[in-house]
Amino acid sequence: MNKVALITGINGQDGSYLAELLVDKGYEVWGTVKRNSVSETQSNRIEHLRSTNKINLEYADLTDMASLVRVLQKIQPDEIYNLAAQSHVRVSFDQPIYTANATGLGTLNLLEAIRMVSPHSKVYQASSSEMFGNNIDEDGYQRETTPLNPVSPYGCAKVFSYNITRNYRNSYNMKIWNGILFNHESPRRGTNFVTNKVVKAAVRIMLNLQDKLHLGNLDATRDWGHAKDYVEAMWLMLQSDTPDDYVCATGISHSVKDLCEYTFSYLGLDYKDFVEIDDKHFRPEELRDLKGDSSKLRKELNWEPKYTFEMMISEMIDYWLEYYKDRSDG
């Protein structure tokens, strides 16, 4: 009998890649979507799966516990992947209360619903490197033992989710894993995130569809991996027997300036001719440096990323080149 999996936030970047992975592994895959918030680009991420009846969708919202209980009672999943959240850090400063409700209390709603009606389920909770804030170990890395010190409403909400997950695991003997994921990107990343924002703009500039790109802090560095590699890590966690917390990262950091240099040079351009600094894109409190040590995940679960930074950005550039080519041909 096939395993049954439930993915909250299935129409997001990670949810769509995870759904593909689980379908390929023979799972019966269910996902939750919000009735009024699925934009065309979001639904496009999973349309190829939905239109061929490879996934099943249910309306539910992390802020509505009754909807979660209904879905869990109906599906009784073997595995649950909680990927739904208000996930944009900059937006969390503009909508801190909504972020706390959706990203923080929403996790508690789901855990309580699971405890009540589906306690047998293995659960993956999407935690974030944003929880560490500017706390960095002496060797320059952040790992499972690094103290948490968030510097954004999003990071604060994720710390609550992380801690309440550990609390439910210990208090109720629930099988729950925290994946502390560092930044991960792909062609499916929202264009309000800096990687796809830069890539899309550079392609548009090359095609004379755009003149300038406005950015904030070019010196901010991030540990960027590919979402495909990271959803495999999520799956690996739930195949293990002992619930635990794992950092998932490449261990290599690049600055936003590096991102601009690589992207524009790939297209035969110099980013300095087109990128302008705009104060509105700076965060009220900035993270300086993020770089993760995933040695625990690699050693215990044999995870290894397949994509390099350059491979990932090149794939994203090629996606947007093809996107605009298709529209010009049409």
Q: Which residues are catalytic?
A: 128, 130, 154
Give the end-to-end CA distance of the chain in Å, rounded to a whole number: 45
CA 118, CA 113: separation in Å to the nearest integer? 7
120 half-sphere exposure, CB direction, 13 A CA radius: 9
Partnered with residue 122 across adjacent β-strands are 79, 175
Helix (H) or strand (E) holding 65: helix 65-75
Q: How many helices and strands, by DSSP H and E, does the chain display?
A: 12, 13
Q: Which residues pair with 57 in a beta bridge?
A: 31
Rg of the chain on CA atoms, in Å? 20
Sheet strands (E) in the chain: 4-8, 28-33, 55-59, 79-82, 122-128, 175-181, 184-185, 213-215, 221-222, 225-226, 245-248, 254-255, 275-277
Calculate the alpha carbon distances from 325 to 7, 308, 313, 318 in Å.
33, 26, 18, 10
> Contact, 185 vs 131, CB < 8 A?
no
The answer to whether 126 and 179 are in contact (CB under 8 A) is: yes
